[in-house]
Amino acid sequence: MNASTPSTETTAEESVLPELRDAWWEHGVRRRAEAGVLGVFAELPKLVGSAVSVAWRADRVRTLVVGFATLGSGLMATFGLLSTQRLLVELFAGGPTPDRVRAALPALALLAATTAVAGGLRITIGYAQNGLTPRVNEVAERRLFEATTAVRLAAFDEDAFADDMERATRGSDAAIALVQNTANMFAGLVNLLAVAVAVIVINPLLLVALIVATLPNGYAALRAGHLRYATFLAGSVRRRRLWVLQRQMAERDSAPELRSYGLRGFLLGQYDMVMGAQTREDLALARRVTTTTSVGALVSGVGLGGVWVLVGGLLWGGRIPLSSAVTCVVAVQASQRALAVVTFQLDRLYTDGQFFKEYIGFLERAKQYLPPEGPDGDRTQPQALRQLTVRGVSLAYPDRDQPAVDDVTLTIQAGQTVAFVGENGSGKTTLAAMIAGLRSPSAGVIEWNGHPIADLDEGTLLRRISVVMQEHHKWPYTAATNIAMGDIGTAPAQKAIEQAANRAAAHETILNLPNGYRTLLDKTFKHGQDLSGGQWQRITAARGFYRDADLLIMDEPSSALDPRAEDALFRAVRSRQGHKTTILITHRLANVIHADRIFVMHDGVLTEEGTHRELVAAPGRYAELFAMQASGYVAEPDDAGSPSA
């Protein structure tokens, strides 16, 4: 199939790819383009302030070294220009050449010294900056992860917060860039100032010449920067579409479906359409950029021509000596170099500054999602579980009309194994997450031995609970660590790890791995291994068993297990009955027959509760679901359609 087949023609319209969300990595570019040519100056002091403060926090000594060495190198630039002028004065003076050279020697020595000192200072700045940036990175990144790991789970449900967090992750890189850009821009400015001071000392009139020669150039450079950002921005949605398409055409994940459904022509058609538009847009904008930069160069060239005319006039009228005229040429060139640095760094500083602002803003906004803090003594220490009570508990997720859990009341006694059952989306996981202290109810209260869990010491409470998540995480560590992470507070003990693995039918699986318990479970690392879905689930269950928790919550722990592993797992769960409490969430109702109590949820509401026997005897949802599932195990109908057994 090729790009012109009918199926491609009918679907390859712009609407196939939906409008993409603003990409965080373009945010700074967007702000720069919106700020206009000179708007970048408005935010400059604040951004520079942020950069200095983050550098100061990371490493005071190096920050001071960079600051003072930059000032020093500016000073050397001034001395350098002044000694150049002195040198020229002596060389252009009358008299025999050897005398002139001799007279110029002190100036030459000064020039050599300033050049050497300036070189030394540049090396010092380089060393200090190189030592500073990794520290800035560490401080900024650490602060970010302190926040992302501390915020409550509910924060991740807020769209705006997730976006915020995504953008803030760029903040630590931006912090480094911000510090570097600020240092470089500062160096450029100091150089510019140094040249101006030297020129004033030589002849104040030359300052006017310098301004005329550099200002149009500076404006042109800023405008060129602005156009570059605008160019980038104009093609941003298309570029992202291309990026999405490129991934679809070149990645392993999409490769099987691409081939099996014959999507090659369709995707290439999409690519041609988007790329064609992108190229046309790029060409049009490139023309504009070239025109603008050419006009800018022309105007600054005219300005520079004016300066040379002025210098020539002054020279002609005997108002300045030849040495000053030559120094002026050197000064103009030096200032243009410094200005190019300043304008370039200004653009970068502004753009990276936007990311840094996102980062700082995120850290501020994250505070509202942090658990309430209080002195340790303020909170009651939860004792071993005797009774767990859920009283009128509800929870509604953001942007959802229906509550996920609606006014649920139930009691669980210590040592019981209870089951939450119900159809998909009925609220079982949400209720369990509230019991586990991971989510806070929007109404109602959950009590641990009669104390609202919100009043209990959170750390101790969480240590008394173990949760085997429905959507477990595959930690990229060894098999042993994957299990020991279930109780990270205690020193890992191989015997306990193996016991936990045995209970979850994971022991044999792990022994069969190339390095047994020491096998790294991540294929992206050298010698790393991956597991099947069911094998991962066994390790996850072992992690849950590893913690000797008062309350074990297992959410769909057997969905990927084979019958033998499932049987072993549920035998391990039953072995807790009578002395440890277990909440089981499962759709495989055969596994809840032995539960002390079964709670049936529907649309967030607790609709039935009782033992298996009681519930199948009543004409309710549980009886219906159980009968439906059990019917699947009745012997196959014979050819005539009637059951053979």
Ligand X SMILES: Nc1ncnc2c1ncn2[C@@H]1O[C@H](COP(=O)(O)OP(=O)(O)OP(=O)(O)O)[C@@H](O)[C@H]1O
428 interacts with ligand X by CB under 6 A = yes
Binding mask 390-419 vs ligand X (x if CB under 6 A, - otherwise)? -------x--x---x---------------
Least Å distance, CB 442 to ligand X, is 13
Stretch of 82-90, 327-335, 427-435, 447-455 lying at the interface with ligand X (CB under 6 A): 427-435
What secondary structure letter does DSSP report for 3?
T
> Between 310 and 349, how does the x/- string for binding to ligand X read (CB under 6 A)?
----------------------------------------
Q: Find where tokens 């009669």 sit.
A: 450
Binding residue for ligand X, selected from 422, 437, 544, 557, defined by CB under 6 A: 422
User: C-beta of 544: minimal distance to ligand X in Å?
Assistant: 17
CA distances from 514 to 215, 509, 530 (A): 68, 11, 11
In angstroms, what is the minimal distance from the CB of 400 to ligand X?
5
Say how far apart CA 197 and CA 77 lie, in whole Å.
10
Which residues ranging from 457 to 476 are in contact with ligand X (CB under 6 A)? 470
Residue whose CB is less far from ligand X, 422 or 544: 422
Select from 174, 229, 317 the least CA-distant residue to 39: 229
Radius of gyration over alpha carbons of the chain, in Å? Answer: 36
Binding map of ligand X across residues 157-176, x = CB under 6 A, - = no contact: x-------------------
Choose, by CB under 6 A, the member of 114, 430, 519, 582 that binds ligand X.
430
User: Is 596 within 8 Å of 611 (Cβ atoms)?
Assistant: yes
Q: Which of 597, 582, 535, 542 is nearest to 562 (CA)?
A: 535
**Identified binder of ligand X from the candidate list 336, 345, 426, 558, rule CB under 6 A:** 426
For residue 564, how many other CB atoms are within 10 A of its CB? 9
Q: How far is the CB of 67 from ligand X (least distance, A)?
A: 48
Buried b (16+ CB within 10 A) or exposed e, 449-463: bebebbebbeeebbb
Least separation in angstroms between CB 177 and ligand X: 34
Q: Rounded to the nearest 5 degrees, what angle is found at the Cα of 17, between the Cα atoms of 12 and 23?
A: 150
Task: Give the whole-angstrom CA distance, residue 390 versus residue 411.
Answer: 6
CB 320 within 8 A of CB 92: no
State the minimum distance, in angstroms, from the CB of residue 412 to ligand X. 18
Q: Encoding tokens for residue 470?
A: 């429905």
Question: Count of residues binding ligand X (CB under 6 A)?
Answer: 13
Nearer to ligand X, 424 or 631 (CB): 424
CA 437 from chain centre, in angstroms, equals 26
Residue type, 280: R
**Measured from the CB of residue 139, what is the shortest distance to ligand X in angstroms?**
32
Please return the burial class of 266, using the count of CB atoms within 10 Å of its CB with bins 0-12, 13-18 and 19+: buried
Q: What is the nearest approach in angstroms of ligand X to the Cβ of residue 363? A: 23
For residue 585, which phi and psi values (nearest 5 degrees)? -115, 120
Minimum CB separation of residue 176 from ligand X in Å reads 34
The nearer residue to ligand X, 426 or 509, going by C-beta atoms, is 426
Beta bridge partners of 478: 520
Angstrom distance (rounded) from CA 225 to CA 341: 12
Write down the least CB distance from residue 552 to ligand X, Å. 17
Enumerate residues 263-282 that contact ligand X by CB under 6 A: none
Q: Binding string, 128-157, against ligand X, x = CB under 6 A?
A: -----------------------------x
Cβ within 8 Å of residue 317, ≥6 positions away: none
In the complex with ligand X, the residue whose CB is nearer, 77 or 541, is: 541
Q: Choose the stretch contacting ligand X; rule: CB under 6 A; options: 4-12, 133-141, 252-260, 426-434.
A: 426-434
Site residues (CB under 6 A) for ligand X? 157, 397, 400, 404, 422, 424-430, 470
